[in-house]
Structure 1
Amino acid sequence: MANLRYSQTADFDNVKAIIVLGTGFKNNKPTPVLASRLDKSASIANKNPQTLLILTGGVGFNKTVSEASVMRAYLLDKYRLKNPMALESKSISTELNLKNSQMILANANIQLNEPIVIVTSDFHTLRALAIAKKQGFGDVMTAGAVTPVYIRYNNWLREYFAFVSGWVLGEY
């Protein structure tokens, strides 16, 4: 039986990996939504200094660097994290973020049934959890980063349609 959980406040102690889902960057800097996800992941990583951080996001349209590399630079510059980091820099969707992260987990000898945290935005946790469950993650938790107020309602509305679309297309 899969152990799937969501929390904004859990301590997330003794996790084996933290997967941070990308969402966009501009001028090689995280957008406010991505920065919120990275800040959330840093607070979890600081409590778990040996835990592998997997940063996800490929090279988007009109970009020259991967989102994962921008995320790494932000975390190192702002938080000076010592955690091991792996870049999943080929994906452009949540489904691919999680699918491609599985190879990184396997290479680090981390099984899908071990405690793994997926860090995403508060509006995105339900869909991320559903996709992870379908892909075979067995002990996964989502940590929801707070979405800035000025874009919160647009993102919640967009996510509603993405959730329905994902269900219709069989993502979960």
Structure 2
Amino acid sequence: MNVWVIVVGAISLLFGAYRLRQDLRDFFGAIFVSLGGLIGLGWLIIKFLEWTGKYSIIWPILLSYGGGSLIIIGTIWLLIKNTSVMESKEGRSTAGKLSLVMGVNLIFILVVSIFLYQFRGIDALHHINVILMTILMIDLTFTLLFLCYLLYSLFYQMVPIKEHMNYIIVLGAGIRSEEVTPLLRSRLDKGIRYYKKNNGVKMIVSGGQGPDEPISEAAAMKRYLLSQGIPEHDIIEENQSKTTYENMLFSKKIIEMREGDKDYSVMFTTNNYHVFRAAMYARRAGLKADGVGSPTALYFLPTAMMREFIGILSRQKVLVALICLFWIAVGWYNF
């Protein structure tokens, strides 16, 4: 591995660590740390292959060719298969096809990479190769960003939070009746677990009423908490929010009205795939709060994580534009 790649990896890791030391919810810090970690992992794998190559020719071949191919093909198959599982359990929806999109995307990356390698240096295909390379590099950049986001999301949930809390915010999720859904119930159950560990804690159930919801999510959550033996005086309804950002912002206003200038500690509960993005919204709302995630069915995770990542990119329009413009400029220069 080129020494400059190692230098870039080290700088990325240190810069990301510096940003995360100030706030673990920093998106760019998360991306830089993950990128540095991936480069370091790549270096270790290469060194391992070099070391094993001194003693056996079989291991490097299996790991670099057979193993790599099996991992890629297996990942593609699982993502495509997951789409049919999602449809059978959750019904047909556009979001439910996101794992199919990722699987097809990996096939595209694989096919285009092979094409560019096989037909490199052919003058008659120069312009086509440059266009394909530009598209491929844009695609690879966003795929790498998604991988970095995925890795840090997993890491963020492993960071321990404070034991004593004054407030627990339970983030709402869509309901179809006056009862909470299994997904929303898992968030509430997670909140109840921490409620029982903290004396004098208040639970804020946060979620407004959508156009297709019979009552507000907050009202449905309060009913569930009461049925689980949580005293009514320990439950606070926030029933105006429509988005995760509003969940955090409106809950913060309620807490500040109750606490004034006093110090307080807050945590929130949501599903595991949503924790890091929700923490980013808490940071944006000026609410110092970390979150814990309740378990999510495995078949739901690929689609959920991709949807979360798309949601983050929708708020990072400048970053998206810069990435696209950079690779287009490189392609134009080589055209």
TM range (shorter): 0.7 to 0.9
2-side partners of 1:8 and 1:67: how far apart? 28
1-side partners of 2:237 and 2:212: how far apart? 20
Q: Shift in Å at residue 2 of structure 1?
A: 6.2
Q: Does 1:159 align with 2:320?
A: no
The alignment's TM-score, normalised by the length of structure 2, stands at 0.46
Please show how residues 30-109 of structure 1 align to structure 2 within 5 Å.
30-77=180-227, 79-82=228-231, 84-109=234-259
1-side partners of 2:200 and 2:167: how far apart? 9
Judged with a 3 Å threshold, the aligned counterparts in structure 2 of structure 1 residues 136 and 147 are, in CA distance, closer, same or farther, namely same
**SS in structure 2 at match of 1:53:** strand
Task: Render the CA deviation track for 1:95-128: whole Å, top value 9, x for unaligned.
Answer: 1111111221012206696321011111111111
2-side partners of 1:113 and 1:163: how far apart? 30
Q: Give ranges in structure 2 of 5+ residues lacking alignment.
A: 1-20, 26-155, 319-335
Contact 2:166 2:201 in 1 (8 A): yes
Q: Give the length in aligned residue pairs.
A: 167
Judged with a 3 Å threshold, the aligned counterparts in structure 2 of structure 1 residues 112 and 99 are, in CA distance, closer, same or farther, namely farther
Bigger fraction of residues in helix: 2
Considering only aligned residues, what root-mean-square deviation do their CA atoms show, in Å?
Answer: 2.5
The alignment's TM-score, normalised by the length of structure 1, stands at 0.85
2:295 counterpart residue number: 146
2-side partners of 1:46 and 1:110: how far apart? 25
Q: Does 1:131 align with 2:281?
A: yes
Judged with a 3 Å threshold, the aligned counterparts in structure 2 of structure 1 residues 48 and 59 are, in CA distance, closer, same or farther, namely same
Judged with a 3 Å threshold, the aligned counterparts in structure 2 of structure 1 residues 4 and 47 are, in CA distance, closer, same or farther, namely farther
Task: Render the CA deviation track for 1:109-154: whole Å, top value 9, x for unaligned.
Answer: 066963210111111111111111122223x221111112342222
Counterpart residue identity of residue 244, structure 2:
T
Q: Does 1:114 align with 2:268?
A: no
**SS in structure 1 at match of 2:220:** helix
Identity among equivalent positions (%) equals 29
2-side partners of 1:113 and 1:2: how far apart? 19
2-side partners of 1:112 and 1:148: how far apart? 40
